[in-house]
Amino acid sequence: MLLDLSEEHKEHLAFLPKVDSAVVAEFGRIAVEFLRRGSNPKIYEGAARKLSVSSDTVQHGVEGLIYLLTESSKLMISELDFQDSVFVLGFPEELNKLLLQLYLDNRKEIRTILNELAPDLPSYHSLEWRLDVQLASRSLRQQIKPSVTIKLHLNQNGGHNTHVLQTDPATLLHLAQQLEQALEEVKTNHCRRVVRNIK
């Protein structure tokens, strides 16, 4: 699977062939450090002074490299696919090999960092429900007013959360239909491709 780089990312990466391979390796180290600890403008300014370019140019070059490495790691693309993706950029062979080595050396660490950054969403544990029907009240002798009470148990961060929901059967039926429709849509080829690219 090849990476689809936008024109903007190609422009950001176009700075890399203009500098020495040691500088590109340093940019790779800065990119991984950026993922670990966040952005540090002083690093960009220092590198810009040494290279006699603007700090924005350095920042864009590092950000382009970050995008290339994170997307490649996220999709776990093979060495050959990575080389083909970078080949499209028209870089010299030496730079392509350096970028491949950067990717191979850091992909596991980048995936670990990305997994740590992913939000911890609640997951289903169990569900209890009860159907209540009010048949009459003091003011109305004959009325039928059904309601469904749902107690939803969720797991999050190693603990349990409980949510109590109450609705009428018509709304619950509509909700069930919408969820079934969403599940059917997940089975389409388009959604499968999207999910595969997310992993």
Predicted local confidence at residue 1, as pLDDT: 65
Predicted local confidence at residue 177, as pLDDT: 95
Predicted local confidence at residue 199, as pLDDT: 57
Say yes or no to pLDDT of 119 above 80: no
Q: How distant is the alpha carbon of residue 22 from its chain centre?
A: 30
Q: How far apart are CA 101 and CA 25, in angstroms?
A: 10
Cα dihedral angle (93, 77, 24, 53), rounded to 10 degrees?
Answer: 110
Q: How far apart are CA 134 and CA 146, in angstroms?
A: 6
Whether pTM exceeds 0.85: no
- Residue 173's pLDDT band (boundaries 50, 70, 90)? very high
Predicted local confidence at residue 149, as pLDDT: 94
Q: How far apart are CA 41 and CA 137, in angstroms?
A: 69
